[in-house]
Amino acid sequence: MSKNFKNSSDTEVVNYGIGSIKGWVVNDDIAIMPNAKFTAYQVNFLAIYEAQMLQTLETDGLLGLSPMSYRKGNSGE
């Protein structure tokens, strides 16, 4: 979490095959490497609080698998 982190009370459900996740819509900067050259700024994503049918998934996140409505510049229409 960076100093630019923004929380919200908005929640979303996203289905992945037979599984699903529920989370709060948040906004923050995402860095793949500890270098500003590889940072994506003001990215909307979900802070997950519940997952169903994904117990065997070994991961610490699903970066890049967001619905189109979360992508910057998309009005969600």
For residue 76, tell me if it sits in a domain.
no
pLDDT at 62: 57
pLDDT at 27: 92
Domain assignment present for residue 17? The answer is yes
Sheet containing 11-16: order of strands: 11-16, 19-31, 39-52
pTM: 0.63
Containing H/E element for 45? strand 39-52
Q: Which residue has the higher pLDDT, 9 or 71?
A: 9
* Residue 59 is assigned to a structural domain of this protein: no
Place 69 in a pLDDT band, splitting at 50, 70 and 90.
low
Looking at residue 57, what is its pLDDT? 66
Instruction: Name the domain count of the chain.
Output: 1
Q: Determine the structural domain holding residue 30 and report its residue range.
A: 1-54
Residue 27 lies in a domain: yes
pLDDT tens digits along 13-55: 988 778 888 989 999 988 877 777 788 888 888 888 888 887 7
